[in-house]
Amino acid sequence: MPDQPQPPVNDRFKAEMPEIPGVARPVPPSAGAGGPLLVIGGLVAVLAAVLVGGRLLSRAHRAETASSATPQIDVPQTQPELPVPVATEGAPTIAQVGDLAKPWDSRPFNYRNAATGENVPALLVRLPVGSPAQSSGYWALAMKEAYGNCGLEYVENLEKLRSDYGFGEAKHPMIVNPCSRTVYDPTKYASLPGGALARGAIVQGSDLRPPLGIEITVRGKKILATRME
């Protein structure tokens, strides 16, 4: 008989599995079968990591670009409003010399009516004549019509005087009564019964007299409101 191939030494003493009809013999696994699968799985994981990282970097870049492209808006800081002083008999100071730096500057205040206890809205105006160190350089008035309850307004916009009040002759700010559309001129005087003069002559409208005046005294650097009509 020809020589038969001898099984490996390790298999000489291994019992041969009997063949069972209808059952296939198991195929021994290949030693190198898992290698390509592991390589492919590793490549897929690397590609997935690269894609995820790329998306994250792209989003971060877009966010940074949008942030840098958005213009920065400087919000102007509003100046705090000064408290409105209240002039009383014991504390009549309403401003300091120099607070109204130029002609037609104004400052609101309240005048305490000693008889009624009412705080009357009032206005201090720097006139274009007279020295700021003297009382003749100012006009103070109650910002309420003399006979009635309508509040007066100080209009510095000459175009508004023309368009809203039909007063085209204005060359400087005026006091107006929006209820009666009366216009008062701070540079002019009107005669009152008894021969007294009152600043703020009526140049347009139907009101009966100028606004109620408030007497001003300058004492050193202080501007005092001492008496109201």
Predicted pLDDT at 40: 62
**What is the pTM (predicted TM-score) of this model?**
0.66
HEC-encoded secondary structure of the chain:
CCCCCCCCHHHHCCCCCCCCCCCCCCCCCCCCCHHHHHHHHHHHHHHHHHHHHHHHHHHHHHHHHHHHHCCCCCCCCCCCCCCCCEECCCCCEEEECCCCCCCCCEEEEEEECCCCCCEEEEEEEECCCCCCCCHHHEEEEECECCCCCCECEEECCHHHHHHHHCCCCCCCCEEEECCCCEEEEEEEEEECCCCCEEEEEEEECCCCCCCCEEEEEEECCEEEEEEEC
Predicted pLDDT at 88: 96
pLDDT tens digits for range 92-138 = 999 999 999 999 999 999 999 988 899 999 999 999 999 999 999 99
Predicted pLDDT at 115: 87
Predicted pLDDT at 47: 64
Residue numbers of the chain with a pLDDT score lower than 70: 1-81
Count the neighbouring beta carbons within 10 Å of the beta carbon of residue 1. Answer: 3
Predicted pLDDT at 205: 96
Predicted pLDDT at 124: 98
Cα 156 to Cα 171: distance, rounded to the nearest angstrom: 10
